Amino acid sequence: DAGITQSPRHKVTETGTPVTLRCHQTENHRYMYWYRQDPGHGLRLIHYSYGVKDTDKGEVSDGYSVSRSKTEDFLLTLESATSSQTSVYFCAIRRGGEGETQYFGPGTRLLVL
């Protein structure tokens, strides 16, 4: 358990509506990431953060924005949801030490109708 929670865990929304997904961590890690996972595409990085108010784009950032006003929370916003954004969204943190790598939250299943 990487001390990561995601909310909501499931969401159904309509095309054109804004949607915000929340990632919350309890271990004060500096780096946080948002991925989407789709069949045939694997895990793709949307945005990541390397500190409060410090964020950068990943490979599939169009249509998404992020914010990090506190160390523990990293928000992903779909500004105007489209059906192509139907996916499973995973948040991850980078944990240092041996095996320094990313650890994932439980995921959010988003369906855009």
Partner 1 sequence: QKEVEQNSGPLSVPEGAIASLNCTYSDRGSQSFFWYRQYSGKSPELIMFIYSNGDKEDGRFTAQLNKASQYVSLLIRDSQPSDSATYLCAVKSGGSNYKLTFGKGTLLTVNP
In angstroms, give the least distance from the CB of 26 to partner 1.
16
| 27 binding partner 1? (CB under 8 A) | no
**What x/- string results for residues 75 through 104 when contact with partner 1 is judged by CB under 8 A?**
---------------x---x----xxxxxx
- Pick from 36, 74, 105, 112: which binds partner 1 (CB under 8 A)? 105
- Pick from 17, 50, 83, 113: which binds partner 1 (CB under 8 A)? 50
Positions of E strands within the chain: 4-7, 10-13, 19-25, 32-38, 42-51, 54-57, 64-70, 73-78, 87-95, 101-104, 108-112
Strand order in the sheet with 64-70: 4-7, 19-25, 73-78, 64-70
**What x/- string results for residues 54 through 73 when contact with partner 1 is judged by CB under 8 A?**
--x-x---------------
Query: 66 has which bridge partners?
Result: 76
User: Between the CA atoms of 104, 109, 110 and 113, what dihedral angle is there, to the nearest 10 degrees?
Assistant: 160
Q: Which is nearer to partner 1, 19 or 35 (CB)?
A: 35
Count other C-beta atoms under 10 Å from residue 59's C-beta.
8
Contact set with partner 1 (CB under 8 A)? 31, 33, 40-45, 48, 50, 56, 58, 90, 94, 99-107
